[in-house]
């Protein structure tokens, strides 16, 4: 282990964190973007390093400032956190590669320094939530992420003034969610006298029956559920995703809610332990019910949207329902499905939002009625959208199929009526997905383009990252050893590590 | 029951007043006030957690065996106060921009204008 690598856990966070004020100092269209891209790529590189190390050597515990846990803050890199970090920084880097031309059209040039500063802060916050082993630290990083994401969403005001109110709505919901988490952490501290997650977990069983702890569990679950946009707390997500600048939608679709899924898994499996979460309190039936309602109802709602970005946003809430169900199944197979779906949905949805961004760049609208004949006007972009849509539906050879396959297996593993019901519900929801993707494809390919519409593709700097994501969709759909392999390692670590 | 733990009761009451204000008011400024109240209630909760009856400020004194309050929740809440201030500032900044572009800060009016824009 060389000197640089021994500091990798902190570097993956500090590089984007320190990059933010640097980026804010620069003016112009290129420099802030270049800084953000390079730093995000560096963070990605460290994350891959950590992921490989964790899966070959073992988990890493990094003591901040040399203070021994549980007194000092501890960064824990285990198979799950390393995997999620890799997803976050990877998506962020991919989106930034695409960002340069796209953002020039949507945010005024003199604000770009600040814009990318907020972007880097959001990235640093999300990486921090994932890596930290300290319960209060989670809240701090959560607020760093949230505050910068309110700013980023409101930056869409130049194209649509509704972005401002969407950001405000998200601010209210996000603050309530984060404050709930704060109350939960406070109650746990009152009962255990520690903030270190591993330390809380080791003391949890002895106090699990007390009222404050039950209240703490309730506050933490609801708080994370708001941040996760779990049905019925999803109200902020469609607005936020619809009016944010294209690259921000793509970035958040792949990362923000995924971090909350990670937190949910971390709280339920590591902190509370599955015996308590699924035995003592009825989390399985609660989360499963909400998850099923989420993917059924939100898929139906998605069918009736007239704005492409809003359609994809509702589909995101539905997909988060699958992840919730995977967690609620309380089995290793269910966890594998959930964790794999975090990765799979991140690349599929980000890829789709990037192609939508390219369409918006050329057409200036994301309303489905304005997309007539896009298939002839922008054939390469439209084809990328169709391939991404296949991934969203879960057609074989795409990652969407892989995670649904695992989820169905996990459901059937239960062997009871609930499992069969779940399988049928998932099939129905997939059919709804076929409908909403087809609705868009139909308009794109089979409606004549309006008179005088020019045939032109988006710039190459946008098309190449789009296609990187599309190729990644098929690569990880066929060669599943990466996503499934790491997800299996993470799931077995969680189940084995649980007391 | 009430007077024994009245700090915690006040925390709960403040929390609920704040949450109710956020949900029931249409005026965005009033929503922000409710949100601030909601966060402030949690500050009170943390401060109460650290307080020990008869305990003094946690300053190390030589030779004496003094009872002092737990400083950790107080330090934690300092961070949360900063977060609260930042949230309020950002929320108010957004309200200013909303007022500039929509010409109103009533949620009902804004939602109606958004519907008409479709």
**What average pLDDT score do residues B99-105 get?**
93
Q: Please tell me the distance from the alpha carbon of residue A189 to that of residue A208, in angstroms, as a whole number.
A: 13
Chain B residue numbers touching A243 (CB-CB < 8 A): none
Using the predicted structure, report yes or no on whether residue B63 has a pLDDT greater than 80. Answer: no
Q: Please tell me the distance from the alpha carbon of residue A39 to that of residue A36, in angstroms, as a whole number.
A: 5
Among A7, A4, A39, A8, residue whose Cα is nearest residue A21? A39
Chain A contacts to B (CB-CB under 8 A): 136, 139-140, 143, 147, 150-151, 154, 157, 161-162, 164-165, 167-168, 171-172, 175-176, 178-179, 182-183, 186, 189-190, 306
Give tens-digit pLDDT for B69-100: 888 998 999 999 999 999 999 999 999 999 99
Mutation target for B interface from A172, A188, A370: give the one with most B CBs within 10 A: A172
Tell me what pLDDT residue B102 has: 92
Query: What does A324-349 look like in DSSP terms, one character per residue?
Result: HHHHHT-SHHHHHHHHHHHHHHHHHH
H-helix or E-strand spanning residue A60: strand A60-63
Domain borders along chain A are 285-499
Residue ranges of domains in chain B, CATH in brackets: 6-53+66-117 (1.10.287.3510)
Compute how many other C-beta atoms are within 10 angstroms of the C-beta atom of residue A433: 23
| Closest by Cβ to B87, choosing from A140, A175, A189 | A175
**How many interchain CB pairs under 8 A, A with B?**
74
Q: Is B63 left (phi over 0), alpha (psi -120 to 50) or beta?
A: left
Query: Nearest C-alpha of chain B: how many angstroms from A10?
Result: 20
Tell me what pLDDT residue A373 has: 85
Query: What does A271-305 look like in DSSP terms, one character per residue?
Result: II-HIIIIIIS-HHHHHHHHHHHHHHHHHHHHHT-
| Alpha helices (H) along A193-235 | 197-207, 211-228
| Contact check, Cβ <8 Å, A161/B42 | no
| Closest by Cβ to B94, choosing from A171, A175, A178 | A171
| Closest by Cβ to A186, choosing from B19, B49, B86 | B49
| Contact check, Cβ <8 Å, B79/A151 | no
Residue A295 token pair: 């993917």
Which phi and psi angles does A132 have, rounded to 5°? -75, 145
| Contact check, Cβ <8 Å, B38/A172 | no
Environment class of B65 (CB within 10 Å of its CB; exposed 0-12, middle 13-18, buried 19+):
exposed
Among A94, A317, A332, residue whose Cα is nearest residue A226? A317
CA separation, residue A7 to residues A58, A305, A368, A492 (Å): 16, 47, 48, 27
Mutation target for A interface from B21, B28, B30, B87: give the one with most A CBs within 10 A: B87
Contact call for residues A229 and A263 (beta carbons, < 8 A): no
| Contact check, Cβ <8 Å, B94/A186 | no
Side-chain half-sphere of A336: how many Cα atoms within 13 Å? 22
CA max distance for chain A: 73
Tell me what pLDDT residue A43 has: 95
Chain B residue numbers touching A165 (CB-CB < 8 A): 98, 102, 110-111, 114
Chain A residue numbers touching B14 (CB-CB < 8 A): none
- Angle at the Cα of B116 (from A354 to A311), degrees rounded to 5? 30
Q: Please tell me the distance from the alpha carbon of residue A248 to that of residue A116, in angstroms, as a whole number.
A: 11
Q: Please tell me the distance from the alpha carbon of residue B15 to that of residue B12, in angstroms, as a whole number.
A: 5
Q: What is the chain B residue with the closest CA to A150? A: B90
Contact call for residues A330 and A414 (beta carbons, < 8 A): no
Q: What is the pLDDT along chain A (499 residues), one digit of tens a residue?
A: 577 778 889 999 999 999 999 999 988 889 999 999 999 999 999 999 999 999 898 898 998 888 888 888 999 999 999 999 999 999 999 999 999 989 988 888 888 999 999 999 999 999 999 999 999 999 999 999 999 999 999 999 888 889 999 999 999 999 999 999 999 999 999 999 899 999 999 999 898 889 999 999 999 999 999 999 998 899 999 999 999 999 999 999 999 999 999 999 999 999 998 888 888 888 888 999 999 999 999 999 999 999 999 999 999 999 999 999 999 998 899 999 999 999 999 999 999 999 999 999 988 889 998 888 888 888 899 999 999 999 999 888 888 899 999 999 999 988 888 889 999 999 999 999 999 999 999 999 988 877 766 778 888 889 999 999 999 999 998 888 888 889 999 999 888 754 3
Compute how many other C-beta atoms are within 10 angstroms of the C-beta atom of residue A409: 16
Chain B contacts to A (CB-CB under 8 A): 19, 22, 28, 31, 35, 38-39, 42, 45-46, 49, 72-73, 76, 79-80, 83, 86-87, 90-91, 94-95, 97-98, 101-102, 110-111, 114, 117-118
Tell me what pLDDT residue A1 has: 52
**Residue A134: strand pairing partners:** A196
Q: Please tell me the distance from the alpha carbon of residue B104 to that of residue A321, in angstroms, as a whole number.
A: 36
| Contact check, Cβ <8 Å, A176/B38 | yes
Contact call for residues A121 and A142 (beta carbons, < 8 A): no
| Contact check, Cβ <8 Å, B97/A154 | yes
Q: Please tell me the distance from the alpha carbon of residue A79 to that of residue A81, in angstroms, as a whole number.
A: 6
Tell me what pLDDT residue A499 has: 36
Tell me what pLDDT residue A121 has: 96
């Amino acid at each position: 282990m060389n000197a640089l690598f021994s500091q990798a856990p902190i570097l993956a966070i500090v590089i984007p964190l320190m990059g933010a004020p640097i980026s804010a100092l620069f003016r112009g269209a290129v420099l802030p973007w270049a800084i953000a891209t390079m730093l995000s790529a560096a963070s990605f590189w460290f994350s891959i390093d950590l992921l490989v190390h964790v899966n070959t050597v073992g988990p890493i515990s990094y003591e901040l400032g040399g203070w021994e846990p549980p007194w000092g803050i501890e960064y824990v890199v285990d198979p799950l956190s390393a995997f999620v970090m890799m997803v976050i920084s990877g998506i962020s880097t991919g989106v930034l590669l695409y960002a340069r031309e796209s953002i020039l059209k949507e945010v005024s040039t003199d604000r770009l320094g600040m814009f990318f500063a907020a972007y880097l802060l959001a990235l640093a916050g999300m990486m921090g939530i994932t890596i930290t082993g300290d319960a209060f630290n989670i809240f701090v990083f959560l607020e760093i992420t949230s505050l910068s994401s309110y700013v980023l969403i409101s930056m869409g005001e130049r194209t649509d003034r509704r972005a401002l109110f969407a950001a405000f709505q998200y601010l209210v919901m996000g603050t309530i969610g984060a404050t709930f988490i704060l109350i939960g952490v406070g109650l746990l501290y009152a009962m255990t006298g520690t903030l270190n997650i591993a330390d809380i977990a080791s003391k949890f069983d002895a106090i699990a029956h007390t009222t404050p702890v039950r209240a703490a569990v309730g506050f933490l679950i609801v708080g994370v559920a708001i941040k996760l946009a779990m049905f019925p707390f999803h109200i902020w997500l469609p607005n936020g995703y619809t009016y944010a600048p294209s690259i921000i939608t793509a970035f958040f679709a792949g990362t923000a809610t995924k971090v909350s899924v990670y937190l949910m898994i971390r709280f339920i499996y590591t902190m509370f332990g599955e015996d308590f979460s699924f035995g003592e309190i009825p989390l399985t039936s609660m989360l499963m019910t909400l998850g099923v309602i989420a993917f059924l109802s939100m898929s139906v709602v998605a069918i009736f949207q007239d704005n492409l970005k809003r359609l994809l946003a509702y589909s995101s809430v539905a997909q988060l329902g699958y992840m919730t169900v995977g967690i609620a199944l309380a089995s290793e197979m269910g966890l594998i499905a959930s964790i794999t779906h975090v990765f799979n949905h991140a690349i599929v949805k980000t890829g789709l939002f990037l192609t939508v961004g390219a369409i918006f760049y050329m057409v200036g609208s994301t309303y489905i009625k304005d997309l007539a004949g896009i298939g002839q006007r922008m054939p390469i972009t439209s084809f990328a959208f169709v391939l991404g849509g296949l991934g969203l539906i879960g057609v074989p050879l795409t990652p969407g199929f892989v995670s649904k396959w695992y989820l169905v297996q996990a459901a059937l593993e239960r062997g009871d009526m609930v499992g069969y019901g779940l399988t049928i519900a998932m099939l129905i929801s997939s059919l709804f997905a076929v409908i909403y993707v087809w609705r868009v494809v139909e308009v794109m390919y089979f409606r004549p383009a309006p008179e005088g519409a020019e045939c032109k593709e988006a710039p190459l700097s946008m098309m190449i990252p789009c296609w990187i994501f599309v190729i990644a969709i098929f690569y990880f759909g066929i060669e599943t050893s990466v996503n499934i392999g790491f997800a299996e390692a993470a799931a077995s670590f969680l189940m084995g590590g649980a007391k | 029951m009430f007077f024994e733990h009245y700090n915690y009761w006040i925390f709960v009451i403040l929390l609920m007043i704040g949450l109710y204000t956020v949900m029931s008011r249409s005026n965005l400024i009033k929503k922000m006030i409710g949100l601030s109240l909601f966060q402030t209630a949690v500050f009170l909760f943390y401060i109460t957690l650290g307080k020990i009856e008869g305990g003094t400020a946690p300053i190390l004194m030589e030779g004496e065996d003094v009872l002092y309050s737990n400083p950790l929740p107080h330090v934690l809440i300092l961070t949360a106060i900063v977060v609260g201030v930042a949230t309020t500032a950002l929320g108010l900044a957004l309200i200013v921009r909303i007022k500039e572009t929509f010409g109103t800060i009533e949620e009902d009016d804004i939602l109606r204008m958004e519907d008409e824009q479709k």
